[in-house]
Amino acid sequence: MLKYIVSLLTRKRQFAKNEIEYGKSFMFDVYTIVLVFLLLCNVLINALFLDQYISASVFGGMAVLMFSTLLWPDSIRFNKKLLTGFFFLLGLVVFFCDGTAGKGCMNYLSYISLAIAVAFIFDFSIDKIRIIFLILSYVLFFLINILSDYSLFSDYWLHLSPVKQLYVRVYKVIEVVCCTFVGIYFISRDKVKVREYYIEKERLDNLLKKTDKISFSGELYELAMSKNSLFITYFKSEFPDFFENILRVAPNLVSSELEICALLKLNLSTKEIAVATNSTVSSVKNKKYRIRKKLNISPETDIVLYIINTF
């Protein structure tokens, strides 16, 4: 199972547009696995120590759902509305579990774990309202149970023994410590990646100002071969009309094919393109064949020369 998970995460690299996108997706995947692990721990706690099989089934279902998101496209997984709804739902689950287990179990500590996850997944500069909404929701849920003296869900009280409450408290402390360390690590790593991105962007901006097109083409080659996320940005700087012109001829070209066209414009070989796009040589050949058909290039015409001279 572990080998399958590792291969699944690694395989995503070839579908990412750039290293920054891949890094974001990879960290999200790892954090998802951490959350799945914590949900499975809740299953074990409820089934083996608390004899709460219904709760164990609920947490088990949530763990399966969370794990299944690894197979979802990033366009869905990173949807801010879905993420906000999901974390609000998790807050409601903690609210109910805290209310039924009682103050002695300290289930409210899970709000800290959720808050850390929210801080990692959302960007405060962009998602300020969503973050504030979720954090205030968690605070409100916590206060409702405290101020009502945990009487809101009195019909569903679990009446756990002191020993069972101790089990839950110990687990909750471990959960919070684990989430804190993992969250801090990923948040700091994400900031480092962003800082490196802007340092590289500033370097290339300065380079663009003081170099001519011929020497900058060499920089484009280096960006392409190093799979730098800024490749397309600076390709457009040197060839501002390239994509517009080629899409005018073949509007049905997809983004991955447009990237191949940009690399062909730089006169990269099939093998070099395979390295630059994290794909196989045969995959690149297939894409070049589709590009040839969409651009209506005859078999006897060299596709590289055609793209260089035409666009």
Task: Kindly report, residue by residue over 18-54, the tens digit of the pLDDT.
Answer: 455 556 677 778 778 888 888 898 888 888 888 888 8
Pick from 179, 160, 182, 181: nearest CA to 45:
160
Structural contact between residues 238 and 220, judged by C-beta atoms closer than 8 angstroms: yes
Burial 24-57 (b: 16+ CB within 10 A, else e): bbbbbbebbebbbebbbbbbebbbeebebeebbe
Q: What totals of helices (H) and strands (E) does the chain contain, helices first?
A: 15, 0
Structural contact between residues 102 and 150, judged by C-beta atoms closer than 8 angstroms: yes
Span 62-76, pLDDT tens digits: 889 888 888 887 778
- Two tokens at 63? 């763990």
The more confidently predicted of residues 141 and 240 is: 141
What percent of the chain is helix, strand and coil (3-state, nearest 5)?
A: 80, 0, 20
Structural contact between residues 278 and 14, judged by C-beta atoms closer than 8 angstroms: yes
Span 165-216, pLDDT tens digits: 888 888 888 888 888 888 777 767 666 665 555 555 565 555 545 444 434 4
Q: What is the mean pLDDT of the chain?
A: 80
- Distances from the Cα of 305 to the Cαs of 16, 223, 255, 261, in angstroms? 28, 22, 21, 11
With both helix axes pointing from N to C terminus, report the angle between 213-225 and 162-210 in degrees, rounded to the nearest 10. 160
> What is the DSSP secondary structure assignment for residue 229, as one 8-state letter?
T
Burial 92-122 (b: 16+ CB within 10 A, else e): ebbbbbbbbbbeebbbbbbbbbbbbbbbbbb
pLDDT computed for residue 210 by the predictor:
46
Least confident range from 21-30, 81-90, 114-123: namely: 21-30
Domains recognised in the chain with CATH numbers: 2-199 (no CATH), 211-310 (1.10.10)
- Distances from the Cα of 239 to the Cαs of 162, 263, 294, 311, in angstroms? 71, 12, 21, 9
> What is the DSSP secondary structure assignment for residue 46, as one 8-state letter?
I
Of 69-73, 108-112, 137-141, 240-244, which has the strongest mean pLDDT? 137-141
- Distances from the Cα of 136 to the Cαs of 54, 94, 111, 123, 222, in angstroms? 29, 14, 11, 17, 47
Span 133-164, pLDDT tens digits: 999 999 999 999 999 988 888 888 888 888 88
How many residues make up the chain in this entry?
A: 311
- 204-211, long-range: CB within 8 Å, 24+ apart, which pairs? 204/230, 204/234, 208/234, 208/237
pLDDT computed for residue 16 by the predictor:
47
